Structure 1
Amino acid sequence: MSAPRPATRPPAALCGRAEEEDAVRRILDRARHDDGGALALLGPPGIGKTAVLDLAVTLAGGFTVLRARGVPQETRLALAGLHALLWPVADRVGARVLRRALSLGVAGGGLALRAAFLEFLRELATVEPVLVCVDDAHLLDEDSRGVLSFAARRLAGERIAVLFAAREDAGLPDDVPARVLAPLDRTASRALADGLLPGRLSDDLHACLDRVARGNPLALRELVESLTPDQVAGLAAPPDRVPAGGRLHRAHAGRLACLPADTRFVLLLLAAHPPLDTATLIRAAEPADAPAVLVPAERAGVVRAEGERYVFADDMVRDVAYAEAPLTRRRDAHRLLAGLFGQGHDRLAGAWHRAAALDGPPERLAAELAAAASAVPHGAHPGGRPGSHPGPSLAFERAAELTGHPERRAEWLAAAAHHAWTAGDPRRAASLLSRLRGPVVPETSRARAELMRGRLELISGPAGSACGKLLAAAAHLLEGDRDAGVKALVHAAEASYRAGDLRTFLAIAGQAAVLRRADDCPAAQLMFEYLDGMAATFSGRHEDAAAPLRRVVELAPAVRSPTKLAWACVASLLLGEDAAALELSSRAVDTARRRGAVSVMPRLLEAMIQAHLSLGHYSSVAAHAAEGLRLARSSGQLNTAAQHLAWLALTAAVQGDAQSCRDHAHAAIDLADVNGLGITTTLGNWALAHLDLAAGRPADAAARLRGHRGNDHVVIRVMASPQFVEAAARTGDVERAGAALRVLDRWAGSTRSADRLALVARCRALLASPAEADELFQEALELHRQGLCRFETARTQLLYGGALRRQRRPGAAREHLHGALETFQRFGARLWAERAREELRASGETVAPARSAGAPEQVLTAQQLQIARLVAEGATNREVAARLFLSPRTIDHHLRNVFVRLGVRSRVELARLLA
């Protein structure tokens, strides 16, 4: 037990513990003013209970501080806790019964001892307030806990505060107020990690550490302190569990050591194969009765029954249960489990456990493991790690470790990297690829590795470098694996597209054109047509682009690859067929979800976002961009994350959220500048220009949208042309506005899109004389009525209404301005709505001020809105969690906040509100 210590240091900031700090401050303030109380801080090891107690001691200036900690060695030693707490002030103890208890360790006296302890605290409090801090209260001896609990219930009107820190199953009195410390959120976790290694942790490494630490501050601290230079630099896979020698590991190991040996072995079976259902567990544990054997573990809070199986209450305890078992016991457990699995999905489990038990010749085990991993349906097992039910990536890696044949080893390491990439773990993929070097690696494996390195760099590194790697891979692959070689060419073209290097894109498209053959399969045909159509588009030959782009869309039903479906979506958008593009992108995303292809999801969501953007579905753009950003960050896709930040900036601009727009746009542009992403820079500036235009700053908007180095990506510039023409026309730059309109007109004229043709008519109206403008605005509105984008209809109504007002036709102006205002309000576009109100007031109409935001789109975050919509459609929490790659617990947390923010009490009410 530790002695108490006063503290006069200034308060230390605790990441993510503002609510706990407020609670501590309140209880100390009450004690200072003769209204003391008690508070129990509950949670698992490492969650930060001790840190909150330390903060309380720091804040307790002018208090007498008594502090003790429970330790396992003294749990059965009567009054050991009370002795440690009072030892520093034992010379001031006057009551005989209390002195006798401290000197002899005898709890006799019943009520007398408890009353004497409380009276002693009152005596101390006559001089200055008293703070009692008891850490690990669940380890206190029973007599000490009884004495402290007695006092904690009788502090009203006293200058005494008592703080306990304990596990949730500590057995403290129910009438002592308790606060369960929640895991740190992502922001607090990153602040803590950055405080340990300032400026050295990348976004994807942060995400990897967050996944392992699960919001546990001590786990995060120990993980950060264990990082090697290669792990920090991204050259090695990050840790997948807390360090074995750390405090947190030892704390969990101590809990497990107190359990019977039979219980620990059944826990080892669960740790070695977490999906084990109870019936299979009973078979594996025979002749022992597994449920009965697990009772001590249930009582200790180590496991709990959940449906048809037992699960660890904390995955970290599972890791420790496996790591702490002797090697011979682990082999015994794997041998038992191997005998329970055989065919189908279980085939991989059986092969994995036989390999882990080393139950046969290594070459045979390796071949069996690789064959089982190859037979797993795509996405059936997206991940896994040592000591758990493995996915194909770990299985292939283990097979590579077991074999002595260099060629097989290279082949299986490449397969392991591919599956890690598919599962959304690029750091692990990169680490596996780093082992594929040297003269013994076959040329085909080396080329495939270079292809994957290029794809990894495309999502997280310099776009130019990615293009070079992909072109090098294509050169080798085209000779022996034509399909893979063509894919490499398309990805290289994509890298040049993202960089804004259209000259390289055209060169790659030309190289691909000579490779075409009459017997190409539909997938290859689609890739060739895609490159051909995109090259024609980038060259401004929109009429020539139409035929190959149309062929891409026609070939889409014959392909199953989500990436190729996304390319078909892009082709559909260029053809002006937005509804068809949305259908294709939805199919791509749904296919990837079913396959568990986490790695491609952020980029597939980009295609879906572009389709929603063309349709004016800004709330959907925000929701999908939020999901894309989360998935991109968690899987280390920094370039894709930048793109989603830019989309979020654009939706914030539409809604008039200036601060969010600037924050997202500048973050996107900063990331883009690092890796040469011209498309993202241009998109970020488009978002800022949209905000400028909505806020009545046309000169600033025009300046942002003018082409200059790093901000001249042709596709985004054409998409932003309507805003540029408007801004340039309002500032008198008719020449540049006319040039932009001509480019827009050539593209829009090659499509069948009424929405795009309406934008051309509107731009012409802005540059025309008043007499001609009226007819052009009418033409634009007629085209809008045939189209689907209601937001742009409202923008045209606003501009036409303003023009009519300036022509002294207020009645006609108000008709269009009211329509614009109604649409802007429905979209939550605050700045545009205010512009419409200003025009209405200028037309002579009295307009009510803006009402408080209350629509779901205005009240909820993008992720909350996405969850709310899925729930309103009838999805369960588990179904929503599976779709968004989140845990059901996270969905439950968000849904509770949705109910509070919207003021609804049930799913039925939510569905009605969002209908």
Structure 2
Amino acid sequence: MSSAAVTRQSVLHGRAAEEAAVRLLLDRARQGAGGALALLGSPGIGKTAVLDLAGTLAGDFAVLRVRGIRQETHLPLSGLHALLHPVAGLIRSHVLTWALRLGRSDGGVALPAALLEFLRELAGPEPVLVCVDDLHLLDAASREALTFAARRVAGERIALLFTAWDAAGPPGELPGDVPVRTLEPLDQAATRALAAELLPGNLSDDLRGSLERLSRGNPLALRELVESLSAEQLAGLAPAPDSLPVHGRLHRAHADRLAGLPEDTRFLLLLLAADPGLDTATLILAAEPADPLSLLAPAENAGVIRAEGERYVYTDETVRAVAYAEAPLARRRAAHRLLGDLLDGQSRRLARAWHRAVALDGPPERLAAELAAAASTATRHGHPGPSLAYERAARLTGHDASRAEWLAAAARHAWVSGDFPRARSLLSWLRRPVASDSSRGQAELMYGRLELLSGNADSARDKLLAAAGWLVEHDRLVGVKALLQAAEASYLAGDIRALHAIAGQAAVLRRGDDCVTAQLMFEYLEGIAATFSGRHRAAAGPLRRVVELASAVSSPVTLVWACVASLLLGEDATAIELSARAVDTARRRGAVSVVPQLLESMIQAQFWLGRYSSVAAHATEGLRLAQESGQLNAAAQHLAWLAHAAAVQGDAESCRDRAHAAIELAESHGLGIATTLGNWALAHLDLSIGRPAEAAARLRGRHGNDHVVIRVMASPHFIEAATRTGDRRRAAAALRVLERWAASTGSPDRLALVARCRALLAAPGEAGELFCEALELHRQGACRFETARTQLLYGGALRRERRPGAAREHLHGALETFERLGAVLWSERARAELRASGEAVVHVSPAGDPERLLTAQQLRIARLVAEGATNREVAERLFLSPRTIDHHLRNVFVRLGVRSRVELARLLS
């Protein structure tokens, strides 16, 4: 055993709940209500760091600390000897003294009682904290004495804090009646914060993503990965690591754990590591004549594996990787050969081909061909997956053409599944001069798609155009798709001229015998180009044909274009139906990379229908998925939509945080669409707080508002702001553009906005009829929020015409809708108008539980804080600034009448 001094640690990322539990334990010990707490978790998860923090927080305590060491587990009382050695001179108990000296205990209650009495004596002048790291590795006698004391300190100034591996051993090794907290892996926000602390400076998105995936939220894994990085890897000149350092502490800890298991058990564990999808029936065949269940029992008892349905799985993927890496090469090949012989049937065709290829069980060319053929018909779910299979086939073959074809397929599958770093690594091989024109075109296409998701929009367009030039002669359909995606890059950038040029380039490739997918793409390009020119009537025909053709396609990417066409036609319900179908298809196929883009179309449709809670929910999900997969361009748009939802709810701080984050990201990537969306959200907020001049300036184009489609969508806000500042000329010009688009859609919701804008520009005697027309159209539509906005504007106009009675009818309707939707600032505007109309309006705060007292955002923040999260952790999780969280939290305390986080936790428990 060894005793260690406590050192001050930096902030523990993602461990707010554990810190709160430790603080509570120490506070109770100070007050004479001692106790114990056991922290469980896998190696490297941060248990020791929590002990270090406890030692730092216990500055007024006498701190005793010991760490279990496997080499001394068999030495009786070696644990107590190490724990008490620093204070041995204070021990007066003969029982305790002789037991430690002889290393022997009679097994009765005398020694544990003597330890408890000594701790009580030590706690006379100051409270005592006992920290035991890796309790499961202590000798049995020491463990029994310490857990005996832990059960009897309720009325003492003593705190005991234990750590142990989860499911570390047989019953009795851990204190079953002591409170337990299990440390879970760090979430993405905490992992990124720790990575930034360990490696200051800008990490590439690929490297950051690789570190996050490999570490799986384990702090020690992340630390060792960072320490293992070479200068070339940091500079992006070499591939990121693909496994934990073999000589690292975490790898060795898992290897030691596995080494303690029987040899036959370790071979079955190797089979499970080689094939994570292995079913128990195949495992039984592999273990004959022995019983595999009895052989796996030691591993299950040790917490290495667990039963899950019809198979066994590793409790920790890191342990699976270690179990495979620790086996000698010959033993690994033998395991793969055995599995290749045992697996049969079409459902495991790819797995069988994979195992035979890894075992080199036959001529390499034949194995490569079998593996590629199996990959071509396989789903993306399960092990090994098409991307890995194609790569293995490429490495086995000696034919350049086959290698290039299979590498391109491997990169394509990696891209679709959202593994962009792997896709880029595979593509670098394809770009070599030996590759064919078609293969180099495929590589350029993949690079362009990756750039479209996470890079500069102009650069993506150039790469995709280059790919189209390579591909159109070899695979016309893929070449046309590359052109369409180049047009998408131009759309994101707001570059009308480039989009028109691409549409013209594609038009000459059209044929009368085109397949449905090709027809849809050509129609979409024609319709979107006409829309960008403001020729909405000309765009309607092609866009309508896109929607009609959508019923005959199943590709999620193709369905995205149909969703956009529906939105431009004003058919929001159809857009939601198509996007829901696309999202479902993508998830079933494992096509992670397209889900954030699909959610963008769904969000825009929900926005037009006034479903702002759905906008916020789907934008939050889209942002999470985009950040996890490194899709920064999609992340910018989802941030902007979250800013819109916050503007509707009147959450000014969150709106500004998210809009500015979206604009900053968009400007660095040349995304005119996200820049304009962000400024539109800020303009909405300006209007709601009575700042029309600022709103008009934002929407006039002075803040990078240069995306024509979004500018048209935002024109109702601009026209309202411009008329209130006297800029009727610009307002009238914007209305003419809005009229052309709305008329081409026939959508009641959009036509209602046109009528409202006409009313704002009309002479006083003519506005009333137009407002009534707008309200009638609203009744035919679906967006209740915009109906309330029209009622508010009409009510205000009636009040200024000195018709207070008529005004109140509309203002009450607006107020009721705003309150139901949680639109705080707009509710205040409606109340102000009612007061100006001569009606005394008293705002009655909702009574009852926190769900009625708080907004949705405040309630979410309150719950996270009550669970122990710090302001910074809440900010990272909700994509806000710590300053905004602090602002919200102050309001939460006021509304709920609490004064501290402890009171908040009690109220929400």
TM-score, normalisation: structure 2? 0.91
Structure 2 SS opposite 1:301:
coil
Correspondence list, 1:401-550, <5 A: 401-550=395-544
Give the letter aligned to residue 73 of structure 1.
Q
Which residue number in structure 2 is paired with residue 50 of structure 1?
48
Given the superposition, is the C-alpha separation of residues 23 and 155 from structure 1 closer, same or farther in structure 2, using an over 3 Å criterion? Answer: same
Checking the alignment, whether the CA contact within 8 Å between 2:282 and 2:343 is kept in structure 1 is no
Distance 1:11 1:361 in 2: 56
- What aligned pairs does 1:158-197 form with structure 2 within 5 A after superposition? 158-169=156-167, 171-197=173-199
Whether the 8 Å CA contact 1:200–1:232 is kept in 2: the answer is no
> How far apart, in 1, do the equivalents of 2:394 and 2:92 lie?
73
Tell whether the 8 Å contact from 2:679 to 2:703 is kept in structure 1 after alignment: no
Residues in 1 aligned to 2:10 and 2:409: alpha-carbon distance in whole angstroms = 48
Q: What one-letter code is carried by the residue in structure 2 that aligns with 1:498?
A: L
Mean alpha-carbon deviation: is it higher for 772-781 or for 36-45? Answer: 36-45
- Post-superposition CA distance 1:420-439 (Å, at most 9, x none): 01111111111110111222
Note the 1:106-121 alignment, pairs <5 A.
106-108=104-106, 110-121=108-119
**168 and 437 in structure 1: CA distance in 2 versus 1, 3 angstrom threshold:** closer
Q: Structure 2 vs 1, CA of residues 681 and 856 (structure 1 numbering), >3 Å: closer, same or farther?
A: farther
Show CA shifts across 1:536-569 (max 9, x none). 1111222222222222222222222222222122
CA displacement, residues 339-368 of structure 1 (integer Å, 9 cap, x when unaligned): 122332311000000011111111111111
Contact kept in structure 2, 1:101 and 1:107, CA below 8 Å: yes
Going from structure 1 to structure 2, the CA distance change for 1:239 and 1:402 (only over 3 Å counts) comes to same
Aligned ranges for residues 79-94 of structure 1 at < 5 Å? 79-94=77-92
Q: 1:291 to 1:861 in 2, by over 3 A?
A: farther
Once residues 604 and 34 of structure 1 are traced to their aligned partners in structure 2, the CA distance between those partners, rounded to angstroms, is: 58
Counterpart selection for 2:200 from 191, 198, 201: 198
Summarize the alignment of residues 242-261 of structure 1 with structure 2, pairs less than 5 Å apart: 242-261=244-263
Given the alignment of the two structures, is residue 300 of structure 1 paired with residue 302 of structure 2, yes or no? yes
Q: How far 1:124 moved relative to its partner? A: 2.8
Q: Do 2:615 and 2:645's aligned partners in 1 also have CA atoms closer than 8 Å?
A: yes
- What is the Cα deviation at residue 251 of structure 1? 1.0
CA shift in 2, pair 1:189/1:779, >3 Å? same
Q: 1:781 is matched by which residue type in structure 2?
A: L
Q: Which residue of 2 is the match for residue 40 of structure 1?
A: 38
Are the counterparts in 2 of residues 643 and 668 from structure 1 also a CA contact under 8 Å? yes
Please tell me the residue identity of whatever aligns with 1:641.
A
CA contact (8 A) 1:622 1:862 kept: no
Determine the structure 2 residue equivalent to 1:76: 74
Displacement after TM superposition at 1:372 (Å): 0.6
Q: Which moved more, 1:395-404 or 1:149-158?
A: 149-158
| Secondary structure of the structure 2 residue equivalent to 1:67 | strand
Q: Structure 1 length as normaliser, TM-score? A: 0.90
Contact 2:9 2:52 in 1 (8 A): no
Q: 2:658 aligns with which of 656, 664, 674?
A: 664
Q: Which residue of 2 aligns with 1:125?
A: 123
Give runs of aligned pairs for residues 623-662 of structure 1, distance below 5 A: 623-662=617-656
Q: 1:233 to 1:489 in 2, by over 3 A?
A: farther
Measure the CA separation in 2 of the matches of 1:855 and 1:719: 33
* Contact 1:682-1:711 within 8 A present in 2 as well: yes
Provide, for residues 107-154 of structure 1, a one-character-per-residue CA deviation record: whole Å limited to 9, x for no partner.
137322222222333333334433221111101111111111222222
Q: 1:744 aligns with which of 738, 742, 745?
A: 738
Structure 2 SS opposite 1:366 = helix
How far apart, in 1, do the equivalents of 2:853 and 2:315 lie? 35
1:21–1:585 distance in 2 versus 1, CA, 3 Å: closer
Q: Using the alignment, how far apart are the partners of 1:396 and 1:423 within structure 2? A: 14
**Aligned residue in 2 for 1:149:** 147
Distance change (3 Å), C-alpha of 1:815 and 1:208:
farther
The 1-side partners of 2:121 and 2:401 are apart by 80
Query: CA offset at residue 261 of structure 1?
Result: 0.4
Q: Which amino acid aligns with 2:152?
A: R
Letter of the 1:15 counterpart: H
TM-superposed deviation, 1:479: 1.2
Q: C-alpha deviations, 1:316-347, integer Å up to 9, x for none?
A: 11111111111122112111111122332311
1:570 equivalent in alignment to 2:575: no
State the partner residue of 2:132.
134
* CA pair 294-705 structure 1, distance change in 2 beyond 3 A: same
Q: 1:291 Cα deviation (Å)? A: 0.5
Contact 1:205–1:636 (CA under 8 A) maintained in structure 2? no
In structure 2, distance between residues paired with 1:117 and 1:640: 61
Cα deviation for residue 265 of structure 1 reads 0.8
* SS of aligned partner of 1:847: coil
Is the CA contact 2:9–2:49 (under 8 Å) kept in the aligned structure 1? Answer: no
Secondary structure of 1:131's match?
Answer: strand
Q: Any conservation in 2 of the 1:11–1:59 contact (CA below 8 Å)?
A: no
- The answer for the alignment partner of 2:577 in structure 1 is 583
Residue in structure 2 matched with residue 874 of structure 1 by the alignment: none
Q: What is the rounded CA distance, in whole Å, between the counterparts of 1:360 and 1:509 in structure 2?
A: 51
Q: Which residue of 2 aligns with 1:879?
A: none
Structure 2 CA distance for partners of 1:656 and 1:850, relative to 1, 3 Å: farther
Letter in 2 for 1:107: S
Equivalent position to 1:373, from 365, 372, 375: 375
SS at match of 1:479: coil
Question: Is 1:819 matched up with 2:813?
Answer: yes
Q: Residue 873 of structure 1 aligns with which residue?
A: none
State how far apart, in whole Å, the 2-side matches of 1:630 and 1:749 are.
37
Using the alignment, how far apart are the partners of 1:398 and 1:854 within structure 2? 54
Alpha-carbon distance in 1 for matches of 2:279, 2:289: 17
1:777 Cα deviation (Å)? 0.6
Q: 1:785 aligns with which of 771, 779, 789?
A: 779
Shift of 1:381: 2.0
Query: Alpha-carbon deviations, 1:367-426, whole Å to 9, x = none?
Result: 1111110122xxx224x6xxxx20000000011111111221111111100000111111
CA distance in 2, matches of 1:678, 1:4: 57
Counterpart CA distance in 1 for 2:437 and 2:492 is 29
Structure 2: 5+ residue stretches without partners: 862-909
**Distance (whole Å) between structure 1 residues aligned to residue 90 and residue 4 of structure 2:** 15
Counterpart contact for 1:82–1:144, Cα < 8 Å:
yes
Write the distance in 1 (CA, Å) between the matches of 2:123 and 2:571: 78
Give 1:843 shift. 1.8
Deviates more, 1:308-317 or 1:414-423: 308-317
The 5 Å alignment of 1:271-420 reads 271-376=273-378, 380-382=379-381, 389-420=383-414
Match of 1:212 in 2: 214
> Shift of the alpha carbon at 1:239?
3.5
**Superposition deviation, residue 590 in structure 1:** 2.4
Distance 1:639 1:480, change over 3 A: same
SS at match of 1:476: helix
One-letter amino acid matched to 1:44: S
Counterpart of 1:841 in structure 2 is 835
What is the CA-CA distance between 1:206 and the residue it aligns to?
4.0
Deviation at 1:230, TM superposition (A): 5.2
Gaps of 5+ in 1: 865-915
How big is the shift at 1:589?
A: 2.0
1:14 matched to which residue of 2? 12
**Counterpart of 1:253 in 2: which secondary structure?**
helix
Cα distance in 1 for partners of 2:516, 2:612 equals: 34
Note if 1:104 corresponds to 2:106: no
CA displacement, residues 735-780 of structure 1 (integer Å, 9 cap, x when unaligned): 1111111111121122211211111111111111110101111111
For residue 736 of structure 1, what is the amino acid of its counterpart?
R
In structure 1, distance between residues paired with 2:355 and 2:858: 44
> Please, what is the CA RMSD of the aligned residues?
2.2
Change (3 A) 1:120 1:754: closer
1:247-267 deviation line (CA, Å, top 9, x unaligned): 111111111111100111111
Q: Percent identity?
A: 72
Give the drift of 1:575.
2.0
